[in-house]
Amino acid sequence: MSSSLKMNRKEMIAFLEQEFPQYLGEVSQVEEDYSLLRLPVDTSHLRPGGTVSGPTMMALADVALYVALLSKIGPVALAVTTDFTCHFLNKPKSDKALMAKARLLKQGKRLIIGEVELYSEGDTETLVAHVVASYSVPPAK
Amino acid sequence: MSSSLKMNRKEMIAFLEQEFPQYLGEVSQVEEDYSLLRLPVDTSHLRPGGTVSGPTMMALADVALYVALLSKIGPVALAVTTDFTCHFLNKPKSDKALMAKARLLKQGKRLIIGEVELYSEGDTETLVAHVVASYSVPPAK
Amino acid sequence: MSSSLKMNRKEMIAFLEQEFPQYLGEVSQVEEDYSLLRLPVDTSHLRPGGTVSGPTMMALADVALYVALLSKIGPVALAVTTDFTCHFLNKPKSDKALMAKARLLKQGKRLIIGEVELYSEGDTETLVAHVVASYSVPPAK
Amino acid sequence: MSSSLKMNRKEMIAFLEQEFPQYLGEVSQVEEDYSLLRLPVDTSHLRPGGTVSGPTMMALADVALYVALLSKIGPVALAVTTDFTCHFLNKPKSDKALMAKARLLKQGKRLIIGEVELYSEGDTETLVAHVVASYSVPPAK
């Protein structure tokens, strides 16, 4: 069975802890088609009304896409976000973990574009936010 | 079998021809989960390099989402686009029809948000563009 | 001299400390045409390479637009972000405060849209990021 | 007097007529800081309600940014749009020309990002739409 993955979940976690020790969330899955991040919600992420803040959702989506990207191109610390568009759709549940499922839309040599669906754990049908973002990657040597 | 569709394909075409006679493309499918538009590409859509122009792709995506939206809320001519984000991913084939498959991400009372995947007919795996857009709808009476 | 401002800087700070005690940055200016936020950069905002993280920039821009919006409509805690698009342009300086200057593009009854320019303090010519975002506001009573 | 312009208005028009004969609008100004396109509105651009269609506005903004970009890097036919975000703000006047004023936010070696303000001629204060978009440019030789 061939795979296009250059890093598995365990390698991903080791890489992130080395390079981005402050990253948000837990790496739940690193699959061929998608990567899944999970953020146990605590009060520090909440804003008035008992909902997870928008910037927290965007930060988690950014990590999720970064993981999806790294899983395909390998441990390259230099990918940088060039654009990031988020639509906030429904209020996340304050008592459920926030999930971010990322997949690549295009893997180009210079630009990689992906999307992320965010939802409250256990309710994949009700998206709380949707992200599309682009990453500039250094030319392969 | 219940359905959440308020207009089928035939009704949609009749509505568009009445209200937006200049609309781009053909309504191929109006389904529960998505609507599909098809644009036979001719030379008027091409730009140098033999590719479909970006604005043509965005115009088709706009119709596709409008159709997906109308199929759920019924023939309301007054929905207006409020934001529209397109990522151009791969060059479409100049000898294939351009397809735009739209689905709703959220159907709110005031805002409806959806996404569109564009591809060359017969090649659903290679997206040529991806759109997310919001529509403001008048309050139901 | 008439003014369209419904809150000045002092009232804004009091409101934010009451309603969003965890908000990012300092409210530097609340003017007719724009609001200015300032974030003294410390190591908690940095990612490898010594640059401010993208999510930190987006979080600051979100506060800046929220302040610009509140200054025009008054202390309404219920405005929610509906879409948020950020383009990352240049690397911010790690030894300068990050500034976010927000202005409204449209103040509608239901939707308010604005843009934010982010730059390193003292270098307004080199934008580090640009944001456009929409906020849904509850109907006035 | 030095200038960073590599093409003036006359050269721009000659280039567009050669390379993109179907381009939308008229090149009104090509300045250091911005380029201005003008679209005399006729019935073919209108949709029901007597307003210019969203796709027409996006198409004009795309040309305006392309002109602003070419004026800085010279006649390179190969720049391609990679992402395009439009916010629709106010209804344009059906009896006024549509104006699109474009300026660059960043001129990088590989990516050029710019924004466009659209308004009805004679009313620069009321924006009808706002666009941010990125263009990928081939490496200079």
In this predicted model, what pLDDT tens digit does every residue of D33-51 receive, in sequence order? Answer: 999 999 998 876 666 666 7
Q: What is the helix (H) or strand (E) element at residue D58, kind and residue range?
A: helix D54-73
Query: Judging by DSSP bridges, how do beta strands B98-107 and B111-120 pair with one another?
Result: antiparallel
Q: How confident is the model at residue A129 (pLDDT cuts 50, 70, 90)?
A: very high
Q: How far is CA C35 from CA B130, C4, C52, C115, D89, in A?
A: 33, 13, 21, 11, 20
Q: How many whole angstroms separate alpha carbon B102 and alpha carbon B125?
A: 15
Chain B nearest-CA residue for A133? B87
Structure token pair of residue B59:
């115009």
State what percent of residues in chain B have pLDDT above 70.
91
The shortest C-alpha distance from B69 to chain C (Å) reads 18
Q: List, in sequence order, every residue forming a beta bridge with A88; answer none if it has no partner.
A: A129
* DSSP reduced 3-state for B87: strand
Structure-token match 């610390």, residue found: A77
Which three-class secondary structure state does DSSP give residue B116? strand
Q: How far is it, in rounded angstroms, from Cα C39 to Cα C131?
A: 16
Query: What DSSP letter does each residue of chain C carry, written as one string?
Result: -----SS-HHHHHHHHHHH-TT--SEEEEE-SS-EEEEE---GGGEETTTEE-HHHHHHHHHHHHHHHHHHHH-S-TT-EEEEEEEEE-SPPPTTS-EEEEEEEEEE-SSEEEEEEEEEETT-TTSEEEEEEEEEE-PPP-
Which pLDDT score, from 0 to 100, does residue C1 have? 43
Question: Cα(A69)–Cα(A5) distance, rounded to whole angstroms?
Answer: 10
CB contacts of A92 in chain B (<8 Å) are: none
Size of the B and C interface in Cβ pairs below 8 Å: 15
Residues of C in contact with B110 (CB under 8 A): 110, 136
Q: What percentage of chain C carries pLDDT values higher than 90?
A: 75
Q: What pLDDT score was predicted for residue C49?
A: 64
What value does the mean pLDDT take over residues A52-69?
95
DSSP letter for each residue of chain A: -----SS-HHHHHHHHHHH-TT--SEEEEE-SS-EEEEE---GGGEETTTEE-HHHHHHHHHHHHHHHHHHHH-S-TT-EEEEEEEEE-SPPPTTS-EEEEEEEEEE-SSEEEEEEEEEETT-TTSEEEEEEEEEE-PPP-
Which is more confidently placed, B47 or D95?
D95
Between D22 and C59, the higher pLDDT residue: C59
Token pair, residue C45, equals 């905002």
Q: Is A59 on the interface with C (CB under 8 A)?
A: yes
Cα B10 from Cα B106, distance rounded (Å): 25
The CA distance from C104 to B3, in Å, is 41
The average pLDDT across B83-111 equals 95
Those residues with Cβ within 8 angstroms of residue B127's Cβ, 6 or more apart along the chain or in another chain: A105, A106, B89, B90, B117, B118, B119
Q: Is the pLDDT of residue A43 over 80?
A: no
- Name residue D122's amino acid: G
The CATH fold of domain D9-136: Thiol Ester Dehydrase; Chain A (3.10.129)
Cβ contacts of residue D46 below 8 Å, gap of 6+? D52, D53, D94
Q: Could you write out the DSSP letters of every residue in C89-113?
A: -SPPPTTS-EEEEEEEEEE-SSEEE
Q: A84 touching C, CB under 8 A?
A: yes
CB contact under 8 A, B85 and A132: yes
Tell me if D85 and A82 make a contact (CB, 8 A cut-off). Answer: no
CB of A107 less than 8 A from some CB of B: no
Residue A91 has pLDDT above 80, yes or no: yes
- Whether residue C57 contacts residue C93, with contact meaning beta carbons closer than 8 Å, is answered with no
Q: Are B39 and B120 in contact (CB under 8 A)?
A: no
Which residues in chain A are closer than 8 Å to D85, comparing Cβ atoms?
83, 85
Looking at beta carbons, which residues of chain B come within 8 Å of D84?
Answer: 54, 58, 84-86, 88
C131-140 per-position pLDDT tens digit:
999 999 977 6
Whole-number Cα distances in Å, A113 to A54, A57, A97, D83: 21, 18, 26, 10
**pTM (two decimals):** 0.95
Q: Which residues of D touch B24 (CB under 8 A)?
A: 55
From D20, D54, D80, residue closest to B62, measured CB to CB: D54
Pair type for strands C98-107 and B51-52: unpaired
CA D114 to chain centre: 10
Q: Which of C90, C106, C130 sits opposite D90 (nearest CB)?
A: C106
Q: What local confidence, expressed as pLDDT, does residue B1 receive?
A: 43
Q: Which of C105, C125, C131, C135 to mutate to test the interface with D (most CBs of D within 10 A)?
A: C105
**Confidence (pLDDT) at B139:** 72
Q: Is B85 an 8 Å CB contact of chain C?
A: yes
pLDDT at A139: 72
* Best of C22, C39, C78 to mutate (most A CBs within 10 Å, chain A): C22
| Nearest Cβ partner for A89 among B87, B89, B105 | B105
Token pair for residue D68?
Answer: 């602003």
User: What would the pLDDT profile of C61-118 be if each residue is shown by its tens digit?
Assistant: 999 999 999 999 999 768 899 999 999 999 999 889 999 999 999 999 999 999 999 9
R_g of chain D computed on alpha carbons: 15
What pLDDT, on a 0 to 100 scale, did the predictor assign at position D1? 43
What are the φ and ψ backbone dihedral angles of B60, each rounded to 5 degrees? -65, -40
**Which of B79, B61, B100 lies closest to B19 in space, CA to CA?**
B79
Mean per-residue pLDDT of chain D: 91
Chain B positions touching D83 (Cβ under 8 A) are 85-88
Residue B113: its chain D contacts at CB < 8 A?
A: none
Q: What is the pLDDT of residue B72?
A: 96
Q: Which of D76, A134, D47, D33 is nearest to B20 (CA)?
A: D47
List CB contacts (< 8 A) between B130 and chain A: 105, 113, 115, 132
pLDDT in the model for residue B21:
83
The predicted-structure confidence for A106-116, as pLDDT tens digits, reads as follows 999 999 999 99
Collapsing DSSP states into helix, strand and coil, what is residue D9? helix
Predicted confidence band at A79 (pLDDT cuts at 50, 70, 90)?
Answer: confident
Residue of higher predicted confidence among A93 and C2: A93
Q: What is the pLDDT of residues D76-93, one digit of tens each?
A: 768 899 999 999 999 999
- Does the beta-carbon distance from C90 to D105 stay under 8 Å? no
pLDDT score recorded for residue D89: 97
A43 Cβ under 8 Å from any chain C Cβ: no
State the chains in contact with D (3 or more Cβ–Cβ pairs under 8 Å). Answer: A, B, C
Closest CA of chain A from B57, distance in Å: 17
Confidence (pLDDT) at A1: 43
Query: Per-residue pLDDT tens for D48-85?
Result: 666 788 999 999 999 999 999 999 999 976 889 999 99
**Average pLDDT rounded to a whole number, residues B99-110:** 96
A17, A20, A47, best to mutate vs chain C, most C CBs in 10 Å? A47
- Domain ranges in chain C? 9-136
Asked if A134 and D83 come within 8 Å (Cβ–Cβ), the reply is yes
pLDDT for position D2: 56
Look at the block and give the residue holding tokens 């419904």.
C6
Q: Give the DSSP letter of residue B75.
A: S
Residues on chain A touching C132 (C-beta within 8 angstroms): none
pLDDT, mean over chain B: 91
B10 to chain C nearest CA, in Å? 33
In which band, very low, low, confident or very high, does the pLDDT at B51 lie, cut at 50, 70 and 90? Answer: confident
